[in-house]
Structure 1
């Protein structure tokens, strides 16, 4: 802040990743998180901040309060969502230096589990476990008490514990498996695809009713291999390549320079246990073109 108590541009640039990171974790969509971030910027720019002692906490709290209101209304829309819902991918990479945008709490696997939480649980968990805000401040956002907020965070933490405790494959291992999966898919090598999938692997597709996609979870290596091979035959993509989303490698597939689906995976013992394919064009649009 400058001496007049207004928000200095340098301060905003410094804290913007935290503001966006809080909104994205709570909402699970880049577009809504960007809207919240812009709203926080406009409100902070007009506010008298002369009495604010911790600007980062103040901005994150404002982002959480705004996101909480958005999420409560978004829940109604998501209840009518066609098929499984996957988070909108956040494009990261070597230039994303701020850990608040790349740590485990922003991974696709974590955001999928976060979607099962209530809006209040999600806010309490993000503000306390990611941003280390006290429960008194969290209670102000939720309109509850510190004790109730503590219980919400504890309940949410128990729900996501399985993801946090799950062994995380290295970046190199994930890239290797994705490249091998791409090679087998391009060659129509069904045996190669099956070998890369755990026998109990689970496939989730998010088309949002905009494009054809499986509307229920698909289980089993052979079934998933056949499904992915058929999609290549039907949609005839031009190329696939590794990009980084949510701090992890992902396989992006393009046709005519436009991304048509994005694959993210979880591994155990060198095999894919969870295969997630995002094909909803609205969620893919913000990733851009080749």
Structure 2
């Protein structure tokens, strides 16, 4: 048995995790993971590779960097807001992934605003502790330039994300109350849970009905949620998504959407709903 055969199962989650963080797509990450396996298998020997995990992760990052460039070009024509593909990460999930704050939905949304080199440098150094000298090989830049890219990415992310996320217990309480109010169609309860400046983003990709602009303001968000709820019989259940407790929306027993929710100060500040069927393929499998 080769070294790759012996160690692949241990390193595969990191390979997938790097590709997913960089692309924001489960489908692309799966393709990249398979490509990394094939490329590694094609090598005559891996005996000269001291740290196989780091080597595999950088191979994945190089491929993901190429994919990210073409994916961004495609998103110019994307219908409505684009959200990252949700990834189920609980014990029954089909695809394991290294879970930390760099794989969270809010982080992936913010990383969409980074340039591709900033995103790659940040993910490799922050999530996988890859030295800048190796990141330089991926990006074709100097180690110093890669250090600056990662630093710039950290500053942008820090400015966009809350410094102190809500504690898990507080967040769970708000999610429980939101689920109850939404399923009851209780407008007053929803308004009490929503921050005055709350936003509601829906990603349908032009394939299902969804708002094509971000809805802002507690009143507008509550109205939009209730209108959709009145047209459909939804049931919300809790699921671990991207390493955090979120909401899986079912219609007629089938997954219809995934809601990721941001909470601050005891209120919901953002709801992001992925409805695009193409982005729910891994959810259906799980």
Deviation at 1:31, TM superposition (A): 0.8
Verify: 1:265 aligned to 2:261, yes or no. Answer: yes
Q: Give the equivalent residue in structure 1 for 2:168.
A: 171
Aligned residue number for residue 117 of structure 1: 114
Q: In the alignment, which residue of structure 1 is the partner of 2:271?
A: 275
Cα 1:162–1:95 shift into 2, 3 Å: farther
Q: How does 1:141-160 map to 2 (within 5 A)?
A: 141-160=138-157
Identify the match of residue 56 of structure 1 among 50, 53, 76: 53
Quick check: 1:9 aligned with 2:13? no
Q: 1:235 aligns with which of 206, 217, 232?
A: 232
Whole-Å separation in 2 of the counterparts to 1:95 and 1:228: 29
Give 3-state SS (helix, strand or coil) of 2:3's partner: coil
When the two structures are aligned, how many residues end up with a matched partner?
A: 284
Is the 8 Å Cα contact of residues 109 and 163 (structure 1) preserved in structure 2?
A: no
The match for 1:162 is 159
Mapped to 1, the partners of 2:132 and 2:199 lie a distance apart of 37
Q: CA deviation at 1:171?
A: 2.9
Q: Deviations over 1:215-262 (max 9, x none)?
A: 11111111111100100111233x221111001111111112221121
Secondary structure, counterpart of 1:117 in structure 2:
coil
1:81 aligns with 2:72: no
| Change over 3 Å in CA distance of 1:163–1:195 after alignment to 2 | same
Mapped contact 1:89–1:246 kept (Cα < 8 A): yes
> Where do 5+ consecutive residues of structure 2 fail to align?
none
Q: Secondary structure at the match of 1:250?
A: strand
The yes-or-no answer on 1:40 pairing with 2:36 is yes
CA contact (8 A) 2:103 2:242 kept: yes
Larger mean CA deviation between 255-264 and 120-129 belongs to 255-264
Supply the distance in 2 between the matched residues of 1:289 and 1:231 (Cα, whole angstroms).
25
- The answer on whether the counterparts of 2:183 and 2:236 sit within 8 Å (CA) in structure 1 is no
Aligned to 1:128: 125
Q: 1:196 to 1:90 in 2, by over 3 A?
A: same
- Whether the aligned pair in 2 keeps the contact of 1:7 and 1:44 (CA below 8 Å) is no
Q: Distance in 1 between matches of 2:211 and 2:108?
A: 20
Bigger mean CA offset, 7-16 vs 60-69: 7-16
Local SS of the residue matching 1:8: helix
Q: Structure 1 181/9 Cα, relative in aligned 2: closer, same or farther at 3 Å? A: same
CA contact (8 A) 2:261 2:271 kept: yes
2:284 — aligned with what?
A: 288
- CA shift, 1:278, in A, is 1.1
Task: Kindly indicate whether the alpha-carbon contact (under 8 Å) linking 1:101 and 1:246 is maintained by their aligned counterparts in 2.
Answer: no
Secondary structure, counterpart of 2:118 in structure 1: helix
Q: What is the distance in 1 between the residues matched to 2:227 and 2:74?
A: 31
Give me the TM-score of the superposition, normalised by structure 2: 0.94
